[in-house]
Structure formats: C-alpha cells, structure tokens
C-alpha cells in the first residue's frame, strides 16, 4: 500500500511552505513527521489505526504535532537511539522506544541517513522510501554548518541510490517517481558546488564571504545566511579531506599531498 501524503502548513523555507506528514499501513499504521495539526491530517489519522509516531529528524518544521497525535492515537513514540534529548527538546515529549539502522517499526524499516541533520533517518517500506529531507524533487535541501555534514549526506544519497527504490516520498514537495535521476542530480549538485568552493580558495579567497561570492554566481539576497552555512559545510568537508586549511574563519589552499603521511 502506498504511503498517504498529507501536506501541512509549517512556515518552512520549502517552496510551498508545507511539510509532508505520511501515514503508512492501515493496521499498526505509522505516522511520520506530523508537523502540524490540520483537519486533513485529523481525518487521515482516524481512517487508520496509528500505533507508531516518529520523525525523520527533529527539525522544527517536522515535529509540531508529534505530541498531539501521539496522545490522540495513544501511539508508541519513537526516536533515534542516542538522540532522545534532541527529540524531547524539539517535541516536548520523551520517546517510548528508540530505533537504529534496520529497526522494524510497523510496516517500515529504519535506514539511517545522516547529513541534513545528525539524527536523520529514512523509512523503507517495500519499494517505497520515505526520505524526509534527504531528497527533494526540485532544487536542493540545506546541508549547512554547524550540524549539516556533507560527507555523511553524500554517503546517505549513495546508499539510497544503491537501494534503487521505485518511489521516494520526500519531506517537502511531490512524490518522486524517478529516484535514481533525482539522487544523481542531488549528488552532482553538491560536487559542482564543492568544485566551485575549492576553486574559490585556490583562486585566493580566504574569508567565508569571499569564498561565498566566488562560489555562487547568482543573487543570494534573502538566502545569504543559508548559502554561507553551506559553504562552511563544504570547507569543513574539504578540510577533513586535506584539500584546504580551514579553521572556521579562514581558508587557504593546501596541496592534496601536504599531510606528510603520503610516500
């Protein structure tokens, strides 16, 4: 059975200002990302026997009605093992149980997909995957400093590509019928951006704003803070990989074999 998608308004930065809540299964149903209480979601929930409530990650635009529906449905509340405090801070309630990679919950199985957020997971149900903010059909998701991790994000995308599901059900926007094309597009987007960031540093940009201006050739008004945190996350990745020196404020080019541990 296909997951039921119920967009709810959340004031998120996503283009239409909504987050997708999902219901999965009819019996022992799973409610994912109940981001706000709405009449539509109330109706969808009463059609199903919701036994489990969880979020793909505890960002503010995914958690707004977790406490409400957990109580209304008398459902088991789940959180990522080791991230219970974060979950509780975001939702106002403590989880009943915790999950990890491979944990079965109702009709789905957990797949850990960190990157956009450290606690991020996807839910696999047959040939469908509920992806949260791992993918989006158009544009890209934010993977920015401090908590975004581009290395982890790319690994999560590659794992999703390898799994080759038939359809993706993202946290924002429409269902994705061509998962591999979308995942490839998102990977290419990150690597293109990374190449621009590296070229900016090699071209002499040292301050974050200078790297930002060289790496983006579009008008950033309104999204400059997000773009800056994205560039910082790329510099962090390049630093981990030994390609630039980066102390959180200044970047400098570094020869890829400058670590001294190569032959």
Choose the stretch contacting Zn ion; rule: CB under 5 A; options: 21-29, 32-40, 58-66, 253-261. Answer: 58-66
In DSSP notation, 111-138 reads EE--SSSTT-EEEEETTEEEEETS--SS
Residue with smaller CB distance to Zn ion, 76 or 131: 131
In DSSP notation, 210-239 reads HHHHHH--S--TTTHHHHHHHHHHHHHHHH
End-to-end CA distance of the chain: 56
Which residue has its beta carbon closest to Zn ion? 59
Q: Is 112 in the site for Zn ion (CB under 5 A)?
A: no
Residue with smaller CB distance to Zn ion, 87 or 246: 87
d(CA 113, CA 72) in angstroms, rounded, equals 29
Residue with smaller CB distance to Zn ion, 200 or 227: 227
Task: Give me the 64-103 binding string for Zn ion, x by CB under 5 A, dash otherwise.
Answer: ----------------------------------------
Q: How far is the CB of 118 from Zn ion (least distance, A)?
A: 11
Structure tokens at 103: 């944990």
CA-based radius of gyration for the chain: 20
Total chain residues near Zn ion (CB under 5 A): 2
Choose the stretch contacting Zn ion; rule: CB under 5 A; options: 32-40, 93-101, 132-140, 228-236. Answer: 132-140
Strand, coil or helix: what is 26? coil
Residue with smaller CB distance to Zn ion, 59 or 193: 59
Q: For residue 171, count CB atoms less than 10 angstroms from its CB and return exposed for 0-12, middle for 13-18, buried for 19 or more.
A: buried
Residue with smaller CB distance to Zn ion, 130 or 251: 130
Residue with smaller CB distance to Zn ion, 60 or 203: 60
Q: Which residues inside 189-248 make contact with Zn ion, applying CB under 5 A?
A: none
Q: How far is the CB of 55 from Zn ion (least distance, A)?
A: 10
Q: Is 59 in the site for Zn ion (CB under 5 A)?
A: yes
Choose the stretch contacting Zn ion; rule: CB under 5 A; options: 27-35, 52-60, 161-169, 174-182. Answer: 52-60
Structure tokens at 209: 């704003």
d(CA 132, CA 134) in angstroms, rounded, equals 6
Q: Which of 112, 133, 149, 194 binds Zn ion (CB under 5 A)?
A: 133
Q: How far is the CB of 172 from Zn ion (least distance, A)?
A: 9
Q: Which of 56, 104, 95, 92 has its CA nearest to residue 75?
A: 95
Structure tokens at 40: 């539509």
Residue with smaller CB distance to Zn ion, 133 or 149: 133
Choose the stretch contacting Zn ion; rule: CB under 5 A; options: 129-137, 198-206, 230-238, 239-247. Answer: 129-137
Residue with smaller CB distance to Zn ion, 119 or 133: 133
Structure tokens at 126: 């047959």
Buried b (16+ CB within 10 A) or exposed e, 133-158: bbbbeeeebbbbbebbbbebbbebbe
Instruction: Give contact residues for Zn ion (rule: CB under 5 A).
Output: 59, 133
């Amino acid at each position: 059975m296909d997951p039921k998608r119920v967009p709810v308004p959340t004031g998120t930065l996503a283009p239409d200002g909504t987050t997708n809540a999902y219901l999965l299964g009819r019996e022992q149903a799973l409610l994912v990302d109940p981001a706000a209480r709405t009449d539509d979601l109330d109706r969808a929930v009463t059609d199903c026997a919701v036994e489990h409530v969880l979020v793909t990650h505890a960002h503010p635009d995914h958690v707004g009605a977790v406490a409400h529906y957990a109580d209304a449905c008398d459902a088991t509340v789940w959180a990522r093992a080791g991230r219970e405090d974060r979950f509780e801070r975001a939702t106002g309630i403590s989880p009943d149980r915790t999950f990890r990679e491979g944990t079965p919950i109702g009709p789905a199985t957990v797949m850990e997909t960190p990157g956009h957020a450290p606690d991020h997971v996807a839910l696999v149900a047959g040939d469908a995957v509920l992806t949260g903010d791992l993918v989006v059909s158009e544009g890209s998701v934010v993977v920015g400093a401090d908590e975004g991790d581009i290395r982890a994000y790319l690994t999560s995308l590659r794992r999703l590509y390898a799994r080759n599901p038939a359809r993706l059900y993202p946290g924002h926007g429409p269902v994705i019928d061509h998962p591999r094309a979308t995942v490839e597009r998102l990977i290419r987007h990150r690597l293109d951006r990374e190449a621009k960031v590296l070229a900016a540093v090699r071209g002499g940009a040292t301050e974050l704003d200078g790297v930002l201006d060289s790496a983006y050739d579009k008008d950033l008004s309104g999204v400059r803070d997000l773009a800056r945190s994205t560039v910082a996350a790329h510099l962090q990745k390049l630093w981990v990989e030994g390609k630039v020196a980066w102390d959180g404020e200044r970047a400098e080019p570094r020869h890829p074999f400058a670590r001294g541990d190569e032959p």
